Structure 1
Amino acid sequence: MKSKEITNVLSIRHTSPFRYCDWSRTSRQLTTCCFDGRVNVYDFLNFGKISDTLKVDTQPTTIRWWEGEDNKVLIGGSNSFLASYDLRSGKEIAKYKFKCGKILALEFFTDEKSFVASSDEVNRQSAEHNLIVWDLRMGAKVSNQIFHERYTCPCIRAHPSGANFLAQTTGNYIARFSTQKPYRLDKFVRYQNHTVNEFPVSFDITKDGSFVYSGSSSESLVCYKHSNGNYLRTVPLPPTNDGQDAACVDVRCHPVLPSMVAVSDWHGRLHVVQ
């Protein structure tokens, strides 16, 4: 962008605020989930008009396109809602049944056959449901308790190699797990030089898989080496105009340049860091 001003290409409006959005594999479509229970699909080859709409029985909290499929979506929501839908027919493909509270995050494995979901169902006696791996098409749970710490995981990312996936924890660190059964926790690698403090702090992995960038409640972006979890550096975010600190809550790595990262903070500001 040569201009310092943002050019508004298209405004998408809805009767209810958006909760989450996800681009399709081809980037032709954008799907959004809203507070009123609607899931809309916007077609950008047709000027961003709504091409499909679903209405679910609860408030959706997160949504993901199926890997390799541009007509199917996976939706997580409140009250243990987790299901896949075919957008062409509007019918449910699979229901993933378990009592887990609210779905916080979803991530597909690179094998396109399974995915991992995190929920807020964690108590003093059990952490059984904070991370669960599912068979995508059969709707069956394929993991037992894989994370024994009693922390919720607001963000999950699969490594591009397909060998492992990472989960942000409210214990102020990112944990690493194998994508092969029994999905063991890597006890020797932990990314821990940032804080969460009940914020929905996210992170991302560079496309080449070399680095992990995490947000932090301490108003900063933190970089780690993926292979061994070594801390590399911290980039502080500027304070707001009125001097308030702002937690860094979302992170997205550039798809080509591994040193460029887009981050957003709790006050709604967007920063590009290089």
Structure 2
Amino acid sequence: MELLRNAYSNSSDEEEEPKRLKSSHTSSYPPKPYLPSPSPSLILPGSYVSKRQRASSSSSISTTTTISSSQSSSFTLSGSISEADIPHKIVALLKSKAKGHQNLNSIPDKLSATLSGHTRAVNAIHWSSTHAHLLASAGMDNAVFIWNVWSNDKKKACALNFHNAAVKDVKWSQQGHFLLSCGYDCTSRLIDVEKGMETQVFREDQIVGVIKFHPDNSSLFLSGGSKGHIKLWDIRTDKAVHNYNRNLGSILDVEFTTNGKQFISSSDVSGSNISENSIIVWDVSRQVPLSNQVYVEAYTCPCIRSHPFDPVFVAQSNGNYVAIFSTTPPYRLNKYKRYENHGVSGFPIKCNFSLDGKKLASGSSDGSIYLYDYQSSKVLKKIKAFNQACMDIAFHPVLPNVIASCSWDGNILVFE
């Protein structure tokens, strides 16, 4: 437990000291224009935007800041983000999009790359889907690193030091080299990695712990934070177009359903005597909860993930298991299937599905990666990766037998 307190304490951070996640048995720019024309409220792809809506949007007060290129000094280039220095075999595999890949059902077991550079815990990692040789990592050392994983030269391509406090989450946009990150400086920041420029800053009155792009519209993203506020931001208008408020505890994770019409939130209930609101399913456009009694066990759930194909989602529970739920009403918990044997122990440990949805991987407080069969929930393989907790797991978006992982000790390992 002392490890958690030490890693989350930051003398340079003037915000309230972040508390660790715990279980409770009593409760538990781009330069404008970036994307298509602006929309002041959630406009899913193909929706009409009236002149009145556009006028209302232009008269609103923006809560974001446009950044000048003179501030790009927080960008440090140490390698290359291009594919030029990657072995031809790897480039060919990346270009193939893994069609007809013979190792689709293989299980990663061989260490492929060791990525060292963070000086404190790594909270999150994310592969780029458009430039699949690049991996982003977010650290408690206030830094976001971009890794050219298979480079023959320097694997750490660049360091992004735009945040002035610990970085909690990082996500690649589906459009080019744009990267979104958030953290304890109460901001989410959009960065053009190719130009080394911070292009937009989205400011809040809370520590921002999680961000998630809309699956069908990368100009929209969700953010959730320490005061329990969830916002839907539109990059095109620099504004929060929807607010989802329900007097929640700190937001631990948000996840869209595969159709993008609903999202699921997880909040901290450890300080409460009730587990209501631990997991909520929301209607994206109407800003209303569809169900707030999805998970009634008295544990916090630091991670929510939707299955890529089936109408289900899973929740990492501080009860040391992953629970599985339906994404269709009444969003019922499957009481007969759960993914067990790994440990959570109060760490914000994440899990993820494989490309084909047939495997579920989870980090663990014992430093291991656990690979489960999605259908049977049996452990397929345990990989001892780190000496400290394994925090996040990311299956590669093209190569089905490649998986990245990060640790509380600051290291990142890629297996194949």
Query: TM-score normalised to the size of structure 2?
Result: 0.61
Q: Does 1:273 align with 2:407?
A: no
Deviations 1:255-274 (A, max 9, x none): 22333211111101111123
Greater fraction helix: 2
Give the structure 1 partner of residue 288 of structure 2.
140
Contact between 2:264 and 2:281, CA under 8 Å: does it hold in 1?
Answer: yes
- Larger mean CA deviation between 19-28 and 108-117 belongs to 19-28
Give the structure 1 partner of residue 214 of structure 2.
66
Residue of 226, 246, 260 corresponding to 2:388: 246
Q: CA deviation at 1:85?
A: 1.6
Separation of aligned partners in 1, 2:213 and 2:381: 33
Separation of aligned partners in 2, 1:86 and 1:151: 32
Contact between 2:391 and 2:406, CA under 8 Å: does it hold in 1?
Answer: yes
Alignment of 1:199-210 (within 5 A): 199-210=347-358
Separation of aligned partners in 2, 1:15 and 1:124: 32
Contact between 1:82 and 1:96, CA under 8 Å: does it hold in 2?
Answer: yes
Give the structure 2 partner of residue 189 of structure 1.
337
Separation of aligned partners in 2, 1:234 and 1:212: 12
> Which portions of structure 1, spanning 4 or more consecutive aligned residues, are displaced by more than 4 angstroms?
none
Greater fraction strand: 1
Separation of aligned partners in 2, 1:123 and 1:10: 40
Q: Which runs of 5+ in 1 are unaligned?
A: 239-244
Residues 1:115 and 1:52: Cα distance change in structure 2 (over 3 Å): same
DSSP-derived class of the 1:11 partner: strand
Residue of 15, 19, 23 corresponding to 2:172: 23
Letter in 2 for 1:272: V
Contact between 1:25 and 1:68, CA under 8 Å: does it hold in 2?
Answer: no
Q: CA deviation at 1:15?
A: 4.7
Q: Does 1:216 align with 2:369?
A: no
Alignment of 1:63-102 (within 5 A): 63-102=211-250
Q: Does 1:151 align with 2:293?
A: no
Contact between 1:215 and 1:221, CA under 8 Å: does it hold in 2?
Answer: yes
Q: Which runs of 5+ in 2 are unaligned?
A: 1-149
Deviations 1:182-217 (A, max 9, x none): 110011211001111111111111010010111111
- Higher relative contact order (CA closer than 8 Å, sequence separation 6+): 2
Give the structure 2 partner of residue 242 of structure 1.
none
Separation of aligned partners in 1, 2:313 and 2:278: 15
Residue of 169, 177, 182 corresponding to 1:33: 182
Letter in 2 for 1:41: L
Aligned residues with identical type, % of pairs: 33
Separation of aligned partners in 2, 1:38 and 1:196: 27
Give the structure 1 partner of residue 191 of structure 2.
42
Q: CA deviation at 1:28?
A: 3.2
Give the structure 2 partner of residue 173 of structure 1.
321
Query: TM-score normalised to the size of structure 1?
Result: 0.91
Select the structure of larger CA radius of gyration.
2
Letter in 2 for 1:23: W
Letter in 2 for 1:176: I
Deviations 1:112-131 (A, max 9, x none): 11100101124563111111
Letter in 1 for 2:410: G
- Larger mean CA deviation between 16-25 and 173-182 belongs to 16-25
